[in-house]
Amino acid sequence: MNRNTANVSFYCRESKKNKDGLAPIELSLVINRKRCYVQLPRKETPTAFQRQINCKKDNDLKDYLRSIRIRLNEIETAFLRDGEALTAAALKDFFKTGGYVLYTIGDLFDDYMRILAKRVGVDLKPKTYRKYEIARDKFYKIIPPTEPVSAITHAVIMDYQASMNQYLDYVTTNGYCQRVKTVVQFGIDNGKIKVNPFSGIRLRKGEKSVQFLSEEEVEKIRTTDFHNESLNKVRDLFVFQAASGLSYTDMAKLVPTDFQVTEDGQYYIHDKRNKTGVFYTAVILEQGVEILKKYDFKLPIIGNHKLNVYLKIIRDLCGIDKPIFSHVARHTYATRCLNRGIRLEVVAKLLGHSTTRITQHYAKLLKKSILSEVEEAFFMGK
């Protein structure tokens, strides 16, 4: 074997002797400064081992160890021929099992996530780690974790990206793709992946596109009977979100005692956001109050993923040519408030944003709002 990259030694340790005075012969492999040990099936007394090793003549033990070296050379040749990464651990596994140990997509993510988990609370926020978990789980829906890492192809990455684009905005999709790309690069850097599946795929950063529905589109959803109990419940949940501005996680944890009412009969919720811990005061619009009363203030919560699947069906049935998912309702509430002239600072408090900079993403004026404001400013006095 190439002595510049690999070193093979044999040991028979006194410390590992059994009651009969025999100890296993150990093979020591060092490749690129990485060492591992393989316990061979043959046993010898440490003194006999040293005596036979130092003997100038050939003997049975030397023949045995020579056969081990020949086998290791054959394995190294197989690695080079097949383009596999030659490491001490890989050589050990091949030697013991008689073949390559399959390194799966699940193994790749597990190895990277194990390292990432050690950084949480040091230089990595828990919510960032959670985003990697979500990216991984979404990736597993495209290709099973039991597949070898070589199965991560250019086509798989394109499928992953296209699948998420069906229900997520461009920036969010790219964020998940970027995290998978980081894991893939980890595999490339460690010799587990030979061809970069992200080659030719550009993940451009851009301003997050805020999706929202118009008043007419919300009303279309609200007044449509889908003749299906599950779809009608999802419709009601979406309408409630669009009338309260709550995120799915904040809506999901609501209990009847969370709802407060003013002397004038205005319902609202004052609580901390589950995601950030920032306090919010969500004022519930009339459509949302109707939903609450319909369910006796106990909303029929279902899983967020299932909710988004049903919302896609509702979008198609209502003929709405926009992506619709749970968070679109929150965007819609913010946009409705801003288009009605509510100040940015107030909308930030309604949504539980820590700064108005976040809220500014929702400041999308509808065409009719623009026309009416210009008309009021320039033409109403004529």
| 207 within some domain | no
Is the pLDDT at 2 greater than 70? The verdict is no
Last residue of a domain, one of 97, 129, 164: 97
Residues composing the chain: 382
Cβ atoms 68, 9 nearer than 8 A: no
For residue 356, the model assigns a pLDDT of 62
Q: In what order do the strands lie in the sheet with 6-11?
A: 6-11, 23-31, 34-44
Cβ atoms 241, 326 nearer than 8 A: yes
Cβ atoms 300, 233 nearer than 8 A: yes
Long-range contacts of 27-35 (CB under 8 A, 24+ apart): 27/68, 27/95, 29/72, 29/88, 29/91, 29/92, 30/6, 30/88, 31/5, 31/6, 31/7, 31/86, 31/87, 31/88, 31/91, 32/5, 32/87, 32/88, 34/87, 34/88, 34/89, 35/88
Last residue of a domain, one of 127, 154, 189: 189
Q: Looking at the structure, do residues 20 and 160 belong to the same domain, yes or no?
A: no
Q: Looking at the structure, do residues 31 and 143 belong to the same domain, yes or no?
A: no
Lowest mean pLDDT among 88-97, 223-232, 273-282: 88-97
Q: Looking at the structure, do residues 125 and 149 belong to the same domain, yes or no?
A: yes
Q: Looking at the structure, do residues 269 and 127 belong to the same domain, yes or no?
A: no
User: In this predicted model, what pLDDT tens digit does every residue of 161-201 receive, in sequence order?
Assistant: 999 888 787 788 889 999 999 999 999 998 888 889 998 88
Total domains in the fold of the chain: 3
Q: Looking at the structure, do residues 261 and 330 belong to the same domain, yes or no?
A: yes
Lowest mean pLDDT among 147-156, 196-205, 332-341, 358-367: 358-367
| 59 within some domain | yes
User: In this predicted model, what pLDDT tens digit does every residue of 195-205 receive, in sequence order?
Assistant: 899 988 888 66
Last residue of a domain, one of 97, 129, 155: 97
Is the pLDDT at 153 greater than 90? The verdict is yes
Q: Looking at the structure, do residues 243 and 182 belong to the same domain, yes or no?
A: no
Cβ atoms 269, 292 nearer than 8 A: no
Torsion-angle region of 98 (φ positive above 0: left; ψ -120 to 50: alpha; else: beta) = left
Task: For residue 41, give the 3-state DSSP assignment.
Answer: strand
C-alpha radius of gyration, the chain, whole number: 32
Q: Looking at the structure, do residues 120 and 87 belong to the same domain, yes or no?
A: no
Q: CA 302 to CA 248: how far, in whole Å? A: 10
Question: With bands split at pLDDT 50, 70 and 90, how would you rate the model's confidence at 4?
Answer: very low
Residues 6+ apart with CB under 8 A from 229: none
| 173 within some domain | yes
Residues 6+ apart with CB under 8 A from 335: 210, 212, 362, 364, 366
Higher confidence at residue 134 or residue 276? Answer: 134
Q: Looking at the structure, do residues 136 and 87 belong to the same domain, yes or no?
A: no
Range of the domain at 360: 215-377
Cβ atoms 181, 189 nearer than 8 A: no
| 198 within some domain | no
Q: CA 317 to CA 232: how far, in whole Å? A: 12
φ, ψ for residue 295 (rounded to 5)? -105, 15
| 197 within some domain | no
Q: Looking at the structure, do residues 111 and 51 belong to the same domain, yes or no?
A: no
Q: Looking at the structure, do residues 159 and 79 belong to the same domain, yes or no?
A: no
Which range has highest mean pLDDT (211-215, 224-228, 260-264, 345-349)? 224-228
User: In this predicted model, what pLDDT tens digit does every residue of 217-233 receive, in sequence order?
Assistant: 999 999 999 999 999 99
Taking alpha carbons only, the member of 292, 246, 239 closest to residue 265 is 292
| 199 within some domain | no
User: In this predicted model, what pLDDT tens digit does every residue of 97-125 receive, in sequence order?
Assistant: 665 556 889 999 999 999 999 999 888 88
| 25 within some domain | yes
User: In this predicted model, what pLDDT tens digit does every residue of 248-259 receive, in sequence order?
Assistant: 999 999 999 999
CATH number (domain holding residue 234): 1.10.443.10
For residue 369, the model assigns a pLDDT of 52
| 306 within some domain | yes
Q: Looking at the structure, do residues 22 and 81 belong to the same domain, yes or no?
A: yes
State both tokens at 177: 């793709």
Q: Looking at the structure, do residues 233 and 350 belong to the same domain, yes or no?
A: yes
36 forms beta bridges with 29
Would you give the DSSP letter of residue 215?
H
Mean pLDDT of all residues belonging to the chain: 85
